Amino acid sequence: GAVVSQHPSWVICKSGTSVKIECRSLDFQATTMFWYRQFPKQSLMLMATSNEGSKATYEQGVEKDKFLINHASLTLSTLTVTSAHPEDSSFYICSAWGGTGNTIYFGEGSWLTVV
Partner 1 sequence: TQLLEQSPQFLSIQEGENLTVYCNSSSVFSSLQWYRQEPGEGPVLLVTVVTGGEVKKLKRLTFQFGDARKDSSLHITAAQPGDTGLYLCAGLQGAQKLVFGQGTRLTINP
The footprint of partner 1 (CB under 8 A) covers 32, 34, 36, 41-46, 49, 91, 93, 95, 97, 103-104, 106-109, 111
Q: Which residue in 2, 1, 10, 3 sits closest to 109, CA to CA?
A: 10
Between 23 and 114, whose beta carbon lies closer to partner 1?
Answer: 23
Q: How far is the CB of 86 from partner 1 (least distance, A)?
A: 19
Cβ(55)–Cβ(106) under 8 Å? no
Q: How far is the CB of 40 from partner 1 (least distance, A)?
A: 9
Between 33 and 114, whose beta carbon lies closer to partner 1?
Answer: 33
CA dihedral 7, 11, 17, 22 (to 10 degrees): 10
Q: How far is the CB of 43 from partner 1 (least distance, A)?
A: 4
Between 51 and 82, whose beta carbon lies closer to partner 1?
Answer: 51
b/e map 23-37, b = 16+ CB within 10 Å: bbbeebebeebbbbb
